[in-house]
């Protein structure tokens, strides 16, 4: 149970079976050149000792390990979704998965964590890695697929259609009659943040609504960062009738601030988020948001990495997955049109 002595090695098996370790290795790996009787001997010795080949020793000697790695800086509920997708894609593929989390950087959003994790894994332990939401570009001696890459990255990646999703959000709000729409941006180095802001800007521009820079708050995807920004937007006399936050986490904080200021949602203020995290459906009212399937992000990333490792990848190296607007209770037509706007427009 607890401690069952030292681990069984290949030489233990060899000794018991009366052969060399080379022969044991051949049997384990099913190679040619071992007589049937010897195979039986070795098999029985393996069985009796409960021997399992050491991942470490094998990966040191071989280049291929048939293990893929994944590095993430935190474990959220969406991380579990990603992992489900990854495992689904890897089922029965012969590739196992190792997730590495460094205790030094966990919780602290220190720059370069992804590179440190990656180097640690790609020594010889893994054949390739998936990196979730990195802070910067990464380099590795083995293939890497990035989920939610940084802006303008040329690395193989899987991303949700953030631009399209954000565009539909703004079109939805415009369709309801909103004209003063606030925006709370995410960490600008991430492609996702940039695309969502770009969608906000272009959708307004296409509708002939001028973009007011003072209606844009600079958040960083951290929910807390949205609080002062939401307060600033909502306390001004010409406050927006709707706020679009670049993530659900931030949008939920906007809801809290609105409640605190005595503003009814969606009566006095419409709020929209992005991501569709589980908590959003729970919110009161339900948060209108953009659904991006983290499951599919994980699935596609694993599928791509697998083929990249075996060298048989044919498709594009940058995948864009569709997003979907989920209209819930937090959005409605504005109650009154702000006077400043109607006179100026």
Partner DNA sequence: GTTGGAAACGTAACCGATAACGATTGCAAC
Partner DNA sequence: GTTGCAATCGTTATCGGTTACGTTTCCAAC
In the complex, the residues that contact its own copies under the rule CB under 8 A are 1-7, 50, 52, 54-57, 59-60, 74-77, 79-80, 83-84, 87-88, 90-104, 106-107, 116, 119-125, 137-144, 153-156, 278-279, 281-282
Is residue 60 part of the contact set for DNA (CB under 7 A)?
yes
- Tokens 């890497």 appear where? 144
Residue 62 binds which of its own copies, DNA, none (CB < 5-8 A, kind-dependent): DNA
Q: How far is the CB of 47 from DNA (least distance, A)?
A: 15
Which of DNA, its own copies, none binds 21 (CB below 5-8 Å, type-dependent)? DNA
Contact window for DNA (CB under 7 A) among 9-17, 83-91, 273-281, 294-302: 9-17
**Alpha carbon distance 235, 102 (integer Å):** 42
Dihedral, CA atoms, 257, 169, 215, 255, nearest 10 degrees? 0
The SS3 assignment for 192 reads helix
- Min separation Cβ 172 and DNA, Å: 53
How far is Cα 287 from Cα 242, in angstroms, rounded to an integer?
Answer: 13
- Of 40, 48, 57, 228, the one binding DNA (CB under 7 A) is 57
Contact 204, 172 (CB under 8 A): no
Count other Cβ atoms within 10 Å, centred on residue 23. Answer: 21
Q: How many residues does the chain have?
A: 345
The listed partner (its own copies, DNA, none) that binds 30, CB under 5 to 8 Å by sort, is none
Q: How many C-beta atoms surround the C-beta of residue 210 within 10 A?
A: 10
Choose the one of its own copies, DNA, none that binds residue 11, judging by a C-beta under 5 to 8 angstroms depending on kind: DNA
In whole angstroms, what is the distance from residue 130 CA to residue 85 CA? 12
Q: For binding to DNA (CB under 7 A), which residues are involved?
A: 6-7, 9-11, 18-23, 25-26, 28-29, 31-35, 37-38, 51, 53-54, 57-58, 60-62, 123-124
């Amino acid at each position: 149970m607890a401690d069952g002595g030292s681990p069984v090695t290949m030489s233990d098996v060899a000794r018991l079976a009366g052969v060399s370790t080379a022969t044991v290795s051949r049997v384990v790996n099913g190679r040619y050149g071992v007589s049937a009787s010897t195979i039986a001997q070795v098999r029985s010795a393996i069985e009796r000792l409960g021997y399992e080949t050491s991942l470490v020793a094998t990966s040191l000697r071989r280049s291929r390990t048939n293990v893929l790695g994944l590095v993430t800086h935190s474990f959220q509920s969406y991380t579990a979704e990603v992992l489900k997708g990854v495992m689904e894609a890897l089922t029965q593929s012969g590739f196992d998965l190792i997730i590495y989390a460094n205790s030094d950087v966990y919780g602290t959003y220190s720059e370069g964590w992804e590179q440190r994790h990656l180097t640690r894994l790609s020594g010889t332990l893994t054949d390739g890695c998936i990196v979730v939401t990195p802070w910067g570009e990464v380099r590795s001696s083995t293939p890497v697929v990035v989920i939610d890459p940084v802006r303008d990255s040329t690395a193989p990646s899987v991303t949700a259609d953030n631009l399209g999703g954000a565009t539909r959000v703004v079109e939805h709000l415009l369709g309801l009659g909103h004209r003063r729409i606030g925006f709370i941006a995410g960490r600008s180095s991430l492609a996702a943040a940039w695309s969502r802001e770009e969608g906000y800007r272009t959708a307004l521009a296409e509708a002939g609504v001028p973009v007011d820079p003072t209606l844009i708050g600079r958040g960083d995807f951290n929910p807390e960062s949205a609080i002062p920004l939401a307060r600033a937007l909502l306390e001004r006399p010409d406050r927006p009738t709707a706020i679009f936050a670049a993530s659900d986490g931030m949008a939920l904080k906007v809801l809290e601030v609105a409640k605190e200021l005595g503003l009814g949602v969606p009566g006095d203020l419409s709020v929209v988020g992005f991501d569709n995290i589980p908590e959003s459906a729970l919110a009161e009212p339900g948060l209108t948001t953009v659904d991006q399937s983290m499951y599919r992000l994980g699935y596609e990333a694993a599928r791509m990495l697998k083929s990249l490792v075996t060298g048989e990848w044919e498709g594009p190296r940058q995948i864009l997955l569709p997003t979907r607007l989920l209209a819930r209770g937090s959005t409605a037509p504005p109650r009154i049109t702000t006077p400043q706007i109607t006179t100026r427009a």
